[in-house]
Amino acid sequence: MKKYPNLIKDLEPVSPNHIWVSDITYWKTKGGHYYISFITDAYSRKIVGYQVAETMEAIESVYALKMALEGLGKRKRAFVLIHHSDRGSQYCSAGYVELLRKNNIQISMSENGDPLENAIAERLNGIIKGEYLFDYQIDSIKEAKTILESVVRLYNEERPHSSVGNMVPSQVHEGSLDKEVRRLWKNYYKKSELSEMEK
């Protein structure tokens, strides 16, 4: 499967739907083990697509991508949308790549296996599991889907983020604000690169 270069290492997101970051995280419960695919907007921090499943099959990540694309609709974009992920087989699969290309989305992937190359996605995983999912006891995949839907809604609509001036992701994403968003973007790739040079 073809691998793609990292297109965002020197790039700062300047609007919603400029850069999407994706990852899969593991959700361990007493009732079973599940896998969650997330797609997050790097500018607003809004979760725009998600899917929870009992397997890591590529089709499950495709479902998350389709959700994100449905939310995108036919909105005009000031910039070409970039989809960034690690080099997992799900993101390199023919079905996933084809869907990105069909929607004129550029493909970007981490290059060195460093989590800092996909820091926003990694951070999201930690927040969702540590602040929301940790306390739930799940008995079935149906229940897992219901819980995750509620959690995503809370995260998007009620949780302020310091990285977007302590505002709520949905408001930032939809532009429904009376004040300018104070960006606190960090280029983690550059930071990691400098750290290596200093060693």
Percent of the chain with pLDDT over 70: 86
What's the predicted TM-score (pTM) here? Answer: 0.86
Angle made by CA atoms 69, 17, 132, in degrees to the nearest 5:
80
The 32-41 sheet, strands edge to edge: 47-53, 32-41, 19-29, 82-85, 106-109
Of residues 174 and 190, the one with the higher pLDDT is 174
Angle made by CA atoms 104, 2, 19, in degrees to the nearest 5:
40
pLDDT digits (tens, 9 = 90+) for 90-138: 999 999 999 999 999 999 999 987 878 999 999 999 999 999 998 888 8
pLDDT of residue 69: 96
Q: Is the pLDDT of residue 42 over 70?
A: yes
Q: Is the pLDDT of residue 164 over 90?
A: no
- Tell me how far apart the alpha carbons of residues 142 and 184 are, in angstroms, rounded to a whole number: 37
H helix intervals, 49-133 = 58-72, 89-92, 94-102, 119-127
pLDDT of residue 195: 40
pLDDT digits (tens, 9 = 90+) for 55-100: 999 999 999 999 999 998 776 676 899 999 999 999 999 999 999 9
pLDDT category of residue 182 using cuts at 50, 70 and 90: low
Looking at the DSSP assignment, which residues form a beta bridge with residue 41? 20
pLDDT of residue 31: 75
Q: Is the pLDDT of residue 187 over 60?
A: no
pLDDT digits (tens, 9 = 90+) for 90-100: 999 999 999 99
Quote the distance between the C-alpha of residue 20 and its chain's center.
6
Task: Provide mean pLDDT across the span 27-54.
Answer: 94
